[in-house]
Structure 1
Amino acid sequence: MASDSLKIWAVADTRRGVENQAIGLAEAVAARTDGQMSRVTIGPDGFAALPDSAAPDIWIGCGRPAIRLARQQRRAFANSVFVYVQDPRTSYEIFDLIVAPRHDRLDRGNAVATTGSPHRVTAGRLADEAERFSERLNGLPGPRAAVLVGGPSKAFRMGGDVEGYLAGRIDDLLAQDLTLMVSVSRRTPASLRQRLKVRLKDEARCWFHDGDGDNPYFAFLASADWIFVTEDSTNMLTEAAATGTPVYSLPLSGKAGKFALLHAGLEAHGALRPFLGRLDTWTYPPLDETTRIARLIADVHARRGELR
């Protein structure tokens, strides 16, 4: 990497969903500018070890701990472009650019709206991960469906009735002779995780990943003919829509509220449909908001340089 290449920091705490947004956007900017991306991980105590390099040219943060760090580093790195992913809900003036999901309806002069969230899904990464897990995948006959299970949130609940519904939908898919690649998240209730593990352990046409060992998540996305996602997860819905593969939503209890705007946006793009029991095949252009925003960030940095 040339010493004069752009230095791009991805700043976040250790929550995977938060970290992946900052890293995914930083990786996209680095790819566009031939820059060098460095991770800055904020620990539970708020401490972050900084890279052994000069000040960042572009600082990209996500998660509330990153806002606190931005307040300090904005003064130290006055010439850097500061970007925040999500609605910071405070300290808007710290950032040169705020990348907020459209369903947050953030109306600020320095904000840009996206359908969903930035992520790390690229055609290259999908191909690489499918190859990395090819030995296991080659043993799974088609057609295949990836089933991505999230968990309860402020808007959605996942009680016993929902667990029963999700288990029933998996039974329905198995009855249609589909091979299932099922992945649960850190937010998935232990009761549902155990229920799925017991139900699927003896299914020859199933790969159940409960979080242990190497994560085949991207390989699941790459090799699925359909992708099913519980409606709670902005990240997983957006990542699924980045593949160009048909995506079905699985409903939970609760009121979607502002997330109905996300679902509507993905439906309008052609990626998402509610699952009504029948499997359809359709096509749409992969949703690539991450590249669009990376281009915008690179332009902001270029204009900053012209003014110096």
Structure 2
Amino acid sequence: MRPRGTVNEWLHWLPVSVHKKVDNVIRRIYDDSRCFLGKKVMPVLVEDGGKNVGLLNVLEADANQIAKMARDTFDRDGPLLVVASGRDTISVASSIRQLAPDNVFVVQIQHPRLNLNRFDLVITPCHDYYPLTPEAQEQIPWFLRSWITPREPPDSNVVLTVGALHQADSAALRIAASLWHDELALLLKPMLVVNIGGPTRNCQYGEDLAKQLTEMLRNVLWSCGSLRISFSRRTPEKVSKILLKEFSANAKVYIWDGRGPNPHMGHLAWADAFVITADSVSMLSEACSTGKPVYVVGAERCTWKFAEFQKSLHERGVVRPFTGKEDVCNQLSHNDHVLCCCFT
């Protein structure tokens, strides 16, 4: 995983291979500084008391070693399946396929923003191809259009999904239901779970949306047996404070404070309905795959391909805008006719 804090907040967009080179430079500078200044050097790039310097926490797979293993085991086991996800893995995954093209099958999850024939299979959300639509082309200045990816429609080695891939399948939910049974099974029904993410460049919000959400939840609370609220690591304090002030003393409401086991999977298994902020593709994808009612807050604030994602969910009937006028008891089955498992 990527290191957090200090200079790393400005380097998260770099590929892992570049991170490694930057890390070497940072460590060299740091070591030289220690030699020259002694222990008085300020640990600007150091975390955990100096145990982790610069970007030492960044992990990178060894493409040569994986390719060699694929060649060595091919006669016995057949092609080695390599599954990579996210932009940090793109260079490694494509290198593995280049080094052992006949001995591996490389799957890249999320659009790699480069030549797709470097991979055997690419799995990516439909909204990643939004730049090719007429609506998107109108938003892009003509001199930038050739730089926006993807530039070509999906090829035969591309599998499109409506949302993000996730682990919340029926088997995982059965396990979560068992693990969280003692804590959640006896809560009054219906249970409404509220998942709050955080503002992004393409879905901006702040205290205004938090106040709006607070008012709407107050209006539907009468129709809920229990209400459970979870914040993400991206939730601004100014947003969480508003909901905490309103609901922390309410006996019907539980707010997860980030301490102890994360109840997210338990919530997916035991909730009767969800209210989710529009910024999180992952949380929406997981909740919609349960087949339970999902209400969205702030979808009108989404722009670019994320607005397209919201539109696709609405057209499929798997989400509704949250208005604060819902009777949660009487609206638990609006998703029953939709087959949304895995969003394929």
TM-based fold match above 0.5:
yes
* TM-score, structure 2 normalization: 0.66
| Deviates most, 157-166 or 66-75 | 66-75
Report what 1:103 is aligned to: 127
Distance 1:207 1:187, change over 3 A: same
> Which of residues 211, 236, 239 is equivalent to 2:286?
239
Q: Distance in 1 between matches of 2:177 and 2:221?
A: 22
Distance 1:76 1:43, change over 3 A: farther
Root-mean-square deviation (CA), in Å?
A: 2.8
Distance 1:192 1:252, change over 3 A: farther
> Which of residues 162, 173, 180 is equivalent to 1:115?
162
Q: Distance in 2 between matches of 1:14 and 1:170?
A: 36
> Which of residues 150, 161, 179 is equivalent to 2:226?
179
Could you list the runs of 5+ residues in structure 2 that have no partner in the other structure?
5-54, 71-78, 130-149
1:221-266: CA deviation from partner (whole Å, max 9, x where unpaired): 1111211111111111111111010111111673433223222322
Name the larger-Rg structure: 2
Q: Distance in 2 between matches of 1:163 and 1:70?
A: 41
Distance 1:285 1:57, change over 3 A: farther
Report what 1:74 is aligned to: 97
Which SS does the other structure have where 1:248 is aligned?
A: strand
Percent identical: 30
Report what 2:187 is aligned to: 140
Which SS does the other structure have where 1:125 is aligned?
A: helix
Name the aligned partner's letter for residue 47 of structure 1: E
Q: Distance in 1 between matches of 2:289 and 2:119?
A: 27
Aligned-residue offset at 1:151: 0.9
Name the aligned partner's letter for residue 207 of structure 2: G
Q: Is the 8 A contact 1:148 1:230 kept in 2?
A: yes
Q: Distance in 2 between matches of 1:286 and 1:127?
A: 18
Name the aligned partner's letter for residue 218 of structure 2: D
Greater relative contact order, per chain length (Cα 8 Å cut-off, separation 6+):
1
1:130-186: CA deviation from partner (whole Å, max 9, x where unpaired): 221112113421111111111111211122211211222222232434411211112
Report what 1:45 is aligned to: 58
Q: Is the 8 A contact 1:242 1:288 kept in 2?
A: yes
Report what 1:90 is aligned to: 114
* TM-score, structure 1 normalization: 0.73
Q: Distance in 2 between matches of 1:160 and 1:184?
A: 14
Distance 1:46 1:266, change over 3 A: same
Q: Is the 8 A contact 1:141 1:179 kept in 2?
A: yes
Report what 1:25 is aligned to: none
Q: Is the 8 A contact 1:144 1:224 kept in 2?
A: yes
Q: Distance in 2 between matches of 1:95 and 1:172?
A: 50
Q: Distance in 1 between matches of 2:219 and 2:69?
A: 56
Which SS does the other structure have where 2:192 is aligned?
A: strand
Aligned-residue offset at 1:284: 3.0
- Number of corresponding residues: 254
Q: Is the 8 A contact 2:173 2:269 kept in 1?
A: yes
Name the aligned partner's letter for residue 154 of structure 2: R
Name the aligned partner's letter for residue 187 of structure 1: R
Report what 2:49 is aligned to: none
Distance 1:90 1:13, change over 3 A: farther
Q: Distance in 1 between matches of 2:180 and 2:293?
A: 22
| Ranges of 4+ aligned residues in structure 1 off by more than 6 Å | 12-15, 49-53
Could you list the runs of 5+ residues in structure 1 that have no partner in the other structure?
1-11, 16-41, 293-308
